[in-house]
Amino acid sequence: MNLKSKFSHLKAYLDQIILGQPTLTENLLIALIADGHLLVEGPPGLAKTRAIHALSKGVCAKYHRIQFTPDLLPSDLTGTDIYRSQTGQFQFEAGPIFHNLILADEINRAPAKVQSALLEAMAERQVTVGQKSYPLENLFLVMATQNPLENEGTYPLPEAQLDRFLLHLQLNYPNAETEMKILRLTRDEAKKEAPVQVQPVTQDEIFEARQEALNLHLDPVLEEYIVQLVMATRHPQKYDDQLAQWIEYGVSPRATIALERCARARAWINDRDFVSPEDIQTVLPNVFRHRILRSYHAEAQGVDCDHIITKILSLVAVP
């Protein structure tokens, strides 16, 4: 079985385990291949935890779930130096961050210092305890979740910290047909019937897939298209007066890089050796959603970021 076939089987496996959330399963693989982290926002019970746990079974990786709470400390993530009386020395005890796949559940419930410790690990791929730095695993992916229904006792992430996430997904409840399938699936699992099997993708194969995605053909015209989509958020007055009223600040250079990497990953997953405009347009909302800062006028008019992104896509010419 070749590499793309293994990832195709992995996607099919995730879709069998995570019913009614094809966007989540696809973007998990995009984040895996694009070597980034994702923030998932949605009501409870939409299989966010189940998704990354299923991914850990589909790849040869260590998984750990961290429940973020207001009393959490940075050392609860990173680990700490512990004094060993037998040797009379301090020894570093690694925290749960030293795993391949991390679920940061309800990240906005932890105070700023804990969020900062996690985001530093995401950006630098290392943690510092005392005067020593410790590298994290080569394969390292964080999926953080937020619950939009309860805001009391939460610590919203600032825009500069949100920018560290490659993607921001918003999930909704499944339809009635999918709900029936979920009911039957969970009943079969409770009966301990034969679980869905998958041949795990190794870490070396993930790194190989990343290199193949980087080597896909991206036409210079599409590179210019990516840049123009970014520029439309920074200089909206050149495109539309109404758009200029809605945007306070545009996206950062990280968005440009993320848009290209995610478009490449999506093209690779769909078994193409080139990036198409559709790839760019499909990943754009999840790349821009958390990076566009709306103006007071947009908030007052009830205009959300998705509406602004739709407007941008309609204004920037497609090559």
pLDDT per residue as tens digits for the range 213-231: 999 999 999 999 999 999 9
Higher pLDDT residue, 65 or 150? 65
Together in a domain, 154 and 67: yes
Averaged pLDDT, 240-254: 94
Bridge-based pairing state of the strands 126-129 and 101-105: unpaired
Averaged pLDDT, 32-39: 96
Given a cut of 90, whether residue 86 has pLDDT beyond it is no
Residue 8 contacts residue 201 (beta carbons within 8 Å) = no
Domain assignment present for residue 148? The answer is yes
What pLDDT shows up at residue 303? Answer: 93
Domain assignment present for residue 78? The answer is yes
What pLDDT shows up at residue 6? Answer: 92
Averaged pLDDT, 47-62: 92
Together in a domain, 165 and 68: yes
Least confident stretch, 47-56, 85-94, 293-302: 85-94
Given a cut of 70, whether residue 185 has pLDDT beyond it is yes
What pLDDT shows up at residue 314? Answer: 95
Together in a domain, 263 and 220: yes
Residue 123 contacts residue 164 (beta carbons within 8 Å) = yes
What pLDDT shows up at residue 280? Answer: 97
User: Which residue reads 């921001």 in tokens?
Assistant: 168
Q: Find the CATH number of the domain harbouring 271.
A: 1.10.8.80
Residue 44 contacts residue 173 (beta carbons within 8 Å) = no
Q: What is the mean pLDDT of the chain?
A: 91
Domain assignment present for residue 202? The answer is no
Domain assignment present for residue 268? The answer is yes
Burial class (CB in 10 A: 0-12, 13-18, 19+), 119: buried
Q: Is the pTM of this model over 0.85?
A: yes
Structural domain of 163: 3-190
pLDDT category of residue 193 using cuts at 50, 70 and 90: low
Given a cut of 70, whether residue 111 has pLDDT beyond it is yes
Domain assignment present for residue 196? The answer is no
Percent of the chain, pLDDT > 70? 97
Rg of the Cα trace of the chain?
A: 21
Per the structure block, which two tokens stand in for 261? 């990497």
Count structural domains, the chain.
2
Together in a domain, 150 and 293: no
Together in a domain, 182 and 223: no
Averaged pLDDT, 246-250: 94
Domain assignment present for residue 283? The answer is yes
Residue 122 contacts residue 31 (beta carbons within 8 Å) = no
Residue type present at position 179:
E
Per the structure block, which two tokens stand in for 42? 């949605």
What pLDDT shows up at residue 152? Answer: 63
Averaged pLDDT, 19-25: 91
Per the structure block, which two tokens stand in for 110? 């932890």
Averaged pLDDT, 120-125: 89
What pLDDT shows up at residue 158? Answer: 79
Domain assignment present for residue 211? The answer is no
Together in a domain, 154 and 300: no
Together in a domain, 162 and 241: no
Given a cut of 70, whether residue 195 has pLDDT beyond it is no
Q: pLDDT tens digits for 279-307?
A: 999 999 999 999 999 999 999 999 999 99
Per the structure block, which two tokens stand in for 73? 């400390």
Together in a domain, 81 and 18: yes
Q: Among residues 174, 190, 206, which one ends one of the domains?
A: 190
User: Which residue reads 């895996």 in tokens?
Assistant: 32
Higher pLDDT residue, 37 or 92? 37
Together in a domain, 169 and 226: no
Together in a domain, 103 and 29: yes
What pLDDT shows up at residue 194? Answer: 61
Q: Find the CATH number of the domain harbouring 82.
A: 3.40.50.300
Domain assignment present for residue 173? The answer is yes
Selection from 137, 148, 139 nearest residue 44 by Cα: 148
What pLDDT shows up at residue 150? Answer: 65
Q: Among residues 142, 172, 190, which one ends one of the domains?
A: 190
Averaged pLDDT, 123-136: 87
Together in a domain, 176 and 223: no
Together in a domain, 155 and 284: no
